[in-house]
Amino acid sequence: MSNLEKNKVTRRDALKLIGVGGAGLLIGATGIEAATDKVTNFFTPNKVDASELLPFYGEHQQGITTPAQDFMYLASFQLETTSKNEIKTLFKKWTEAAATLSEGKEIGDSDVLSSPPADTGEAIGLQPMKLTFTFGVGPSFFDKLSIQSKRPSQLKDLPHFPGDDLREEWNGGDIAVQVCANDQQVAFHGLRNLIRIGRGIVSLKWMQHGFQRSQGSDPSGSTPRNLMGFKDGTANPNPKDKDEMNKHVWIQNDNTPTWLAGGSYLVARRIRIRVEEWDRSTLNDQEATFGRHRQSGAPLGEKDEFAELNVKKKDSNGNLMIPADSHVALARGNGKVKILRRSYSYTDGLDIQTGKLDAGLLFVSFQQDIEKQFIPLQEKLAKMDLLNEYIEHNGSAVFACFGGVKKGSYIGEGLI
């Protein structure tokens, strides 16, 4: 049988696919044709939608204020060289590859029979699916290249927080690449090709995938839920509000070096959730832990997800509606410190030591100033957040993400 014939959807297959297996079931010919049509339509091309394409070049890097795509890979690389020139060449190659892949094109020359194809091929024919790349450098990057004088003073490893249970295999790194897309294969292909281009110059230190509910399963675009079942992202600052982004996210003061201007600091925390314990806690405890209702996402005592969150509001007995040690009460504080959260859920299968799931939140936040934003927030949470009973931080990293890249330029230009 030819491949073409093998791939054909037969009427019999179509019937199986639509669940019509019973002998003697009467179905009119037109019914069968219509059903078969539906199945064969499954293989017909989708229209190419230009909105699926997010250009790599621009004022800021993509993947920061970009509405979170369905999938992400966060990869942390370590340098295998101390040569600035080799890193500069790599950054130029990565820039070109990221720009090409973001347009849904293949990289390099892949039709020379005597050489391995330049592109690994698994995204051939696929749309870009809002593929974005976000690049940054960690504190150790500056030491390894002996350019310590260029390291921004606040780009250093985070302090130890109470309860931290950090593992070296999930910590730090010299370079970060965040790859996001609405298709996991497209995202993986993007990262895999950067890994390949970097071989011999950089190697992976750690890599974490992330997911959220796909936009296809929630076309209304409501706030995604985390693995604890709660809407997560409700009180994020609005990425479309330029003033808010300038105030809380983009680095842009007078002393900012050009390579960092319009960039942002990325904090990543791999936070394991003890889902088994959480699943045994009562709904009442769960809601008190977050300070919001599970179903609606509304602050406790309110009906609407976006109702004002008043941490001082009391019930008729004089008790706080939202417990003072709940996650949102502590994270909101006086409401002045804001970070842009862009976290994803992760699952890494079974922890064979404990027989429990290794699942949680790959917490990612972008901020203008780590010392004024993330650190004071996490200090408060680590001390007394009710959520601490159910989570453990086992990975931590900080990176300075470059400003946007202009066509003809490359990531990190001006730094190396």
Ligand X SMILES: C=CC1=C(C)c2cc3[nH]c(cc4nc(cc5[nH]c(cc1n2)c(C)c5CCC(=O)O)C(CCC(=O)O)=C4C)c(C)c3C=C
**Shortest Cβ 295–ligand X spacing (Å):** 13
Rounded to the nearest whole angstrom, what is the least distance from the CB of residue 307 to ligand X in the complex?
Answer: 11
Q: Which of 72, 381, 401, 415 binds ligand X (CB under 6 A)?
A: 381
Question: Smallest distance from the beta carbon of 187 to ligand X, in angstroms?
Answer: 22
The one among 68, 228, 260, 266 contacting ligand X by CB under 6 A: 228
Tell me whether residue 342 is exposed, middle or buried, using C-beta atoms within 10 angstroms of its C-beta: 0 to 12, 13 to 18, 19 or more. Answer: buried
- For the CB of residue 202, give the shortest distance to ligand X in the complex, in Å: 28
8-state DSSP, 48: P
Beta bridge pairs of residue 284? none
Single out the residue of 229, 233, 239, 301 in contact with ligand X (rule: CB under 6 A). Answer: 233
The DSSP string of 204-233 is EEEEEEEE---GGG-TT-PPPB-TTSSB-S
According to the binding rule CB under 6 A, does residue 123 interact with ligand X?
no
Bridge partners (DSSP) listed for residue 265:
367, 400
- Nearest CA to 266 out of 74, 101, 415 is that of 74
Residue from 154, 360, 152, 163 nearest 274 by CA: 360
Q: Binding pattern to ligand X, positions 41-80, x when CB under 6 A?
A: ----------------------------------------
- Name which position in 230, 250, 346, 410 contacts ligand X (CB under 6 A): 230
| Cβ at position 309, least distance to ligand X in Å | 5
* Beta strand 356-367 pairing with 340-341: antiparallel
CB nearer to ligand X: pick between 63 and 360: 360
CB nearer to ligand X: give 191 or 271: 271
Amino acid occupying residue 191: L
Does 234 interact with ligand X (rule: CB under 6 A)?
yes
Distance (Å, whole) CA 368 – CA 346: 26
Residue type, 123: A
Q: Count the residues of the shown chain that bind ligand X, applying the rule CB under 6 A.
A: 27
For residue 304, is it left (φ>0), alpha (ψ between -120 and 50) or beta?
beta
Residues lying near ligand X in the complex (CB under 6 A) are found at: 226, 228, 230-235, 269, 271, 273, 290, 292, 309, 327-328, 331-332, 339, 360-361, 363, 374, 377-378, 381, 391
